Structure 1
Amino acid sequence: MGRYKIGYRTLKTAIGTAAAIIIAQFFGLNFFASAGIITILCIQNSKKKSLKTAYARFVACILGIGFSFIFFEGIAYHPLVIGLLLLLFIPVTVLFKVSEGVVTSSVIILHIYSGHQMTAGIVLNEVSLIVIGIGTALLVNLYMPSLDSKLKQYQVEIEKNFRKIFEEMVSYLRTNESRWMGNEITETAGLLEEAKSLAFRNVENHFLRSENYFYHYFQIREKQFEIIERVLPIVTSIEPLVKQRYMIADFLEVVSSYIHPGNTAQQLLIRLYDLQTQFKDEPLPESREEFEARAQLFQLIKEMEQYLLIKKSLKVESKVITNHLITEK
């Protein structure tokens, strides 16, 4: 059996729901439990998403009250009228881009329907439920646990896999043999997907920040990983043990040792350009097999150039992140 764990969102939902109901009951509101339902619907996994959801539900509820007045007071308090109301109301919420609030506003509409009348007191009661429910959700959602430690762990795992992949390429170039199963390839693809999703959530927890280091970092690694996936077939397709294989193997070994958050791309690019110059100074190939092998190795060099140019675009913010993590501990 898996270990039972209560997440932050579950805890906030439980606290927020109870608080909303207590407040609504304290003020003697009818349907006070609905304040708790609204709170449940408004709690999200990021601050920006929570604010967006709260706005959508509030606007939809106000629209729902207006529609209720027009249809119930203008036509009749009848089940068929509810159907007609929703038939027109839902497209309007879509038009105003507040369709997330359909469920919440439907609760409000049904409250008004069950009272068979629409007075200032009933409207005030429903608006109060909306304000309490949404307000409580926003308050409890102000606290979001830092995701930096988890993101740092993803960073460590991805870099470890990158190193392993490069080490295997180095080994194959030197020996023309490999027993590697390639598990790190599929594992890295999954890690990058999860890491980007978590990093995006981290961005949404900061109202004044549209992008952060980790999200940009994982985007860079994703682009580099695409190049690695292109490079691997090139490496495995080279058969002749030409001299240039060992030169590139040495270079890839250096690249492997430089895989970390710091931006060392410029140093590696200088090494790569030196390697290109050495290739050009080498005597022409003596056989077709050697020519094809050197052509593939040259293609590998061009791919590695792109790999390093992508890394060069990553701002050196790792020191700031590391200091932040140390402070948190």
Structure 2
Amino acid sequence: MRIGLRTIKTVIAATLAIIIANYLGLTYPSTAGIIAILSVTNSKKSSFKVGIGRIIALFVAIIIAYGCYQLLGYTPLAFGLYLLIYIPIAARADMSEAIPVNSVLITHFLNEKSMRPELVKNAILLLLVGVGLALIANLYMPNVRDDIKSSKEKVDTYIKLLLLKMSEAFDTTSITTDCQLICEGAAKSISQGEDYARRHLDNHLLASDGYEISYFQMRRVQLNVLEDMVKLMAHIEVEEEVSEEIKHLLVRIYETYGEENDGMSLKKDVEKVYKHYETKPLPKTREEFENRARLYQFLTEIQTFIDIKVDFRG
């Protein structure tokens, strides 16, 4: 059984939280450990958000609990009234994760039959120790830059292979099937890359650059266009002479494909192909016309594929 990094950090944070709470002479020190367990998350930003939210929510909880205990005494009914008021407020303030932790701290007042200042201080310190240790534990997060780079390379490889396959033939069923399998592989790599990119962004508290996420989203949009091209390709049946220019264009895109390519030169290549087809003789039969229309639509999809990258590079 493999023990993950989050598990190790949770164990360390919870253990240290209880030790520190004991050292400070706090009542109910194990609560600090439970708070630490519930506060260690998958990223720095989420851990920081959860921790700060719980601290703010605790002060709200203390105010509400004080009113309820003063009104009904230190009884289960008073605690029930506290929950009735506190839960909707915390949920509306997007602090639902604070409800169980802070409510446990509020039960300490119920057990002690008092809300003396030292007990209130005790509850605040328990929360600060637990949350603080969780935040410290989450200061270390594995670097996923290499994973992002690897995902980009996989996506690039899949898309380049797809372009090459489409350049080979439009009417070969086996190639069309191969293209569909390549699309599935590319989609999986894009999803994985987006996950790494989000994790990378969430682990930088002051970072606001979402380039990596935007990059994978751009590739996903391009892949959607390529999938439409694969479906269209299966229904195009034209002479090699007619499709030759588009084949050369696909090879050109394959050869120049990359993150740094802004796509501007490829846009000019597409315009040349459009002009080339304008000089071609008109179709003579309905079947030729329909196939030429599909070929023209295929070329339009290529232009869309390139425009997506051009717009992304801005």
2:135 to 134, 138, 143: 138
Aligned to 1:77: 74
TM-score by structure 2 length? 0.93
1:202-235, Cα deviation, whole Å (9 max, x unpaired): 1122233222332121011011011111111111
On the 8 A contact 1:60/1:99 being kept in 2, the answer is no
Letter in 1 for 2:217: Q
Aligned to 1:188: 186
Aligned to 1:178: 174
Aligned to 1:46: 43
CA shift at 1:169, angstroms?
Answer: 1.5
1:147 aligns with 2:144: yes
1:238 aligns with 2:236: yes
1:60 aligns with 2:60: no
The SS at the match of 1:99 is coil
Measured in 2, the distance between the counterparts of 1:17 and 1:163 equals: 49
- List structure 1 runs of 4+ shifted beyond 4 angstroms: none
Q: How many residues align?
A: 312
Letter in 2 for 1:105: N
On the 8 A contact 1:64/1:109 being kept in 2, the answer is yes
1:285 aligns with 2:283: yes
Aligned to 1:16: 13
CA shift at 1:260, angstroms?
Answer: 2.3
The SS at the match of 2:249 is helix
Aligned to 1:272: 270
Aligned to 2:254: 256
Measured in 2, the distance between the counterparts of 1:19 and 1:10 equals: 14
The SS at the match of 2:234 is helix
On the 8 A contact 1:60/1:98 being kept in 2, the answer is yes
2:116 to 84, 105, 119: 119
On the 8 A contact 1:263/1:314 being kept in 2, the answer is no
**Segment of structure 1 superposing worse, 178-187 or 149-158:** 178-187
Measured in 2, the distance between the counterparts of 1:178 and 1:190 equals: 22
CA shift at 1:67, angstroms?
Answer: 2.0
Measured in 1, the distance between the counterparts of 2:243 and 2:64 equals: 74
CA shift at 1:177, angstroms?
Answer: 4.6
On the 8 A contact 2:262/2:313 being kept in 1, the answer is no
2:155 to 147, 155, 158: 158
Measured in 2, the distance between the counterparts of 1:244 and 1:203 equals: 48
Measured in 2, the distance between the counterparts of 1:288 and 1:315 equals: 41
1:295 to 289, 293, 296: 293
- 5+ residue gaps, structure 1: 317-329
On the 8 A contact 1:242/1:293 being kept in 2, the answer is no
Measured in 2, the distance between the counterparts of 1:61 and 1:293 equals: 69
The SS at the match of 2:244 is helix
Aligned to 1:102: 99
Letter in 2 for 1:254: R
On the 8 A contact 1:56/1:99 being kept in 2, the answer is no
Measured in 1, the distance between the counterparts of 2:64 and 2:262 equals: 62
CA shift at 1:150, angstroms?
Answer: 0.9
1:73-102, Cα deviation, whole Å (9 max, x unpaired): 331222222222211110111233322200
**Segment of structure 1 superposing worse, 120-129 or 160-169:** 160-169
Aligned to 1:199: 197
Aligned to 2:209: 211
Measured in 1, the distance between the counterparts of 2:42 and 2:311 equals: 30
TM-score by structure 1 length? 0.89
Measured in 2, the distance between the counterparts of 1:67 and 1:176 equals: 72
1:150-180, Cα deviation, whole Å (9 max, x unpaired): 111111111121122222212223x645253
Percent of aligned positions with the same letter in both sequences?
Answer: 30
